[in-house]
Structures are given as structure tokens and as C-alpha cells.
Amino acid sequence: MRKSKRLDLIPPYLFVKIEERKEELIRKGIDVIDFGIGDPDLPTPSHIVKKMREVLDTKEAANYPTSKGEMIFRKAVVNWYKKRFNVSLDPATEVCCLIGSKEGLAHLPLAFIDLGDVSLIPDPSYPVYKICTTLAGGEAYFLPLNAKNNFIPDLDNIPADIAKKAKLLFINYPNNPTGAVAEISFFEKCVKFARQNDLLLVSDLAYSEMGFDGFRARSVLEIPGAKEVTIEFHSLSKTYNMTGWRIGMAVGNAEAVQALATIKSNIDSGAFKAIQLAATEALTGPQECVIDNNQIFEERRNVLYAGLTSLGWKFDKPKATFYFWVPVPKGETSASFTEKLLDKCGILVVPGSGYGPSGEGYVRMAITLPKERIAEAIRRMEKASITFLESA
């Protein structure tokens, strides 16, 4: 058989390798503390599961869904956006149901990127933006995120010829992997930039509901006129502990939503109706579960932040997401520090370099594990004398 050249362009998905490594260690009998993949360890709220059970007993669940999603789901999305962000959307033209937002983000470049076109992509970032731009025949132009720019890209630094060739600008706040948040003034800059350069602004809002110390994320679509140039991706995965259910949505500019729906309707046939109806229940039902979730993650965040601080680390306490973007000690690389934590402490983290070249010098820790395990990880690090001493 002869495989495509395209396949050579893409690495194995970051977490596939990490999962393999974890299994190898567990086979050796090591008690691994897993800060790896950002997959909530908490259960899907019971009222959502109950709804799913009810729908499964009906006849309608079995049939093909419509490609943009069931109207009842799209209306639930519209009402949720209105209530949460005071953003108005038309359920007929400005909402598309996704099989998880990863699916939509992955298919979007097929609708916008021709050979040699450019996507502006934060570095580090969720790997899907770059990989799927590449698969579509396009090129990524990286926008570095670092401590100096507070992990917010500097749009003024983009060369004019690149901006001209660019068709998509990806942003993601609250941010994976850095845990950074953005002010609405940055979103305003992005909308202006998209308008000036006739490109589509792609806002990935997967973590909007995960905020601490009272932080509430904003939607780009809150900005007047943003809808003319913006598509926003959202997901129930992180908000309702539903990563395995595969359900999300794209909303915003009708032309962009339709372009994505055209690609999708030729590839997949939409999300399982029963899941869409359970997701409708999630969006319209009681929201206490979201608050409860955040309390748990906030407590975990406090434990990890206090622990790392006690070992000498100095960085801003994350205000959102379940990620810590942790600088590696002097003399270490992302890879060597990841190895060290694994070998000496049985602690699994993700090397920051996996998220792009500017991720070198960091590791990402996801607090998707009980606080007792987080405390145990800190004890193991202390015992192994793993500290962050800048002057070392």
C-alpha cells in the first residue's frame, strides 16, 4: 500500500504517545500521578445522564440527525448564549451542532484554507489548529505567547504580507495550555484585525465556564459587529464533564457556520440525537453543577499553587481552566523535566514543547485529579528535592 504524503506531515496526536507511556509505567507497578490529558475526572451530572436514558427508550433517537443539529438543541444554544453573554443568535443560520468542538475546529480549515493559505495560530496552542491547517494544505504562522506578553499574541508584530495571506486567526481564552485569560480589549483588537485583513476570527471558548475567584470569561461575540467576522467554538465537554459524549457547537457568522456545515454534511452526519437532547438538558437545566465543579477545581488549584510556590516556583495563579503552565527549573528542557518528574516521582505532565516551539521551557499540569493526589505529588517532589531555584 502507498500512504499519502499528507500523513507524513502530521505527528501522532500528542496524547496518544503520553497515554502509551503511562500504561507502560502502570504495567511496571508504578503508582502514576497523572497531570496529563485535560479530561475531567468528575462524573457527568446525573440529570443529564437521566435525560439520555429516557431518550434512548424512544424511537426517534435511532434516526440520522440533521447536519446542523436538531432545532431544539440549536435553540438551547441560542438561549444559553443570550443568558450567559447577552449575545443574540439565529438558530436557523448561526448555530451548528458539532461532534465535539475538536471536530468542528478540525473541519473548519477545509472550508477556508486553500494550498499555501495561512492560518495565524498562537504558539503554544491546542494542536488541532495547526495540524488541521496543514492537512488542508495551508501553513501555520505562529504568534508566540510568553510570560512577557502575558500569553496574549501581539497582532502588531504580524508582517503585512502574512496578514494579507492569512484567512483564519485562531484565539483561545481562557487558554489551553497556559491557563491565561484575555481582556475584552484584546478581543476588540482581534475583531478589528479580522476586519482590516478580511479574515475569519476563530474563537475557541471551550473553557468559558471554568473560572476561579469570581472570574467570568467573555465571548468575542459580545463586541458589537463581531459577528461579521467571527465564528466561536464551544463545547459541553469541560463545562459538564462530558468529554466522552462528543458534543459541541459553532456559532456566529452565518456564512462561516454554513461553510463548516457544508463540509460536515459531506463527511459526518451529525451528532447522535440522544446526545443532542441530553446536551439540551445540560444547557437548559439546573446550572448548580457548574458552580460545584468550579469549587472543586478551585480547591485543587489552590493546593497545587501553594505546593509549587512552597518549592520555589513563581508564576501567576491561574484564574481559569484546569491547567497550570509551569516553567521548568534552570538547566532543564520541557522534555528532560517531564522525564525527571516521571522517573523520580511517578508524576505525569505534558512537555510544553508539544504545544508549539514557544512551549519549550514549560510543562503543562492538568488538575483533573483529587486534591489528595495533588498534595501527594508535591510531597514526592519535595522528597526528590525537585525545586525551582532561578539562581541555581
Residues that bind ligand PLP (CB under 6 A): 38, 100-102, 126, 172, 176, 204, 206, 235, 237-238, 243, 248
Minimum CB separation of residue 74 from ligand PLP in Å reads: 17
In 197-287, which residue ranges form alpha helices assigned H by DSSP? 254-267, 273-284
106 vs 342, which CB is nearer to ligand PLP? 106
Closest CA to 384 of 339, 323, 343: 343
Minimum CB separation of residue 172 from ligand PLP in Å reads: 5
197 vs 243, which CB is nearer to ligand PLP? 243
158 vs 247, which CB is nearer to ligand PLP? 247
Minimum CB separation of residue 106 from ligand PLP in Å reads: 9
Minimum CB separation of residue 196 from ligand PLP in Å reads: 26
Minimum CB separation of residue 18 from ligand PLP in Å reads: 15
Using CA atoms, how far residue 41 sits from 24, 225, 229, 241, 317, in Å, is 21, 38, 36, 8, 22
Q: What is the dihedral of CA 236, 44, 71, 247, to 10 degrees?
A: 40
**Cα(108)–Cα(102) distance, integer angstroms:** 10
240 vs 388, which CB is nearer to ligand PLP? 240
Closest CA to 326 of 346, 345, 301: 301
**Cα(100)–Cα(237) distance, integer angstroms:** 7
Q: What amino acid is encoded at 204 in this protein?
A: D
Q: How many CB atoms lie within 10 A of CB 52?
A: 19
Minimum CB separation of residue 36 from ligand PLP in Å reads: 13
246 vs 273, which CB is nearer to ligand PLP? 246
Minimum CB separation of residue 40 from ligand PLP in Å reads: 10
**Cα(340)–Cα(338) distance, integer angstroms:** 5
Minimum CB separation of residue 245 from ligand PLP in Å reads: 8
99 vs 226, which CB is nearer to ligand PLP? 99
191 vs 279, which CB is nearer to ligand PLP? 279
**Cα(44)–Cα(203) distance, integer angstroms:** 25
Residues with Cβ within 8 Å of 23's Cβ and at least 6 positions away in sequence, in order, are none
35 vs 126, which CB is nearer to ligand PLP? 126
Grid cell for residue 313? 516556583
Using CA atoms, how far residue 182 sits from 128, 145, 188, 215, in Å, is 21, 12, 11, 11
248 vs 329, which CB is nearer to ligand PLP? 248
Q: How many CB atoms lie within 10 A of CB 117?
A: 18
**Cα(364)–Cα(377) distance, integer angstroms:** 14
**Cα(84)–Cα(193) distance, integer angstroms:** 26
Minimum CB separation of residue 376 from ligand PLP in Å reads: 25
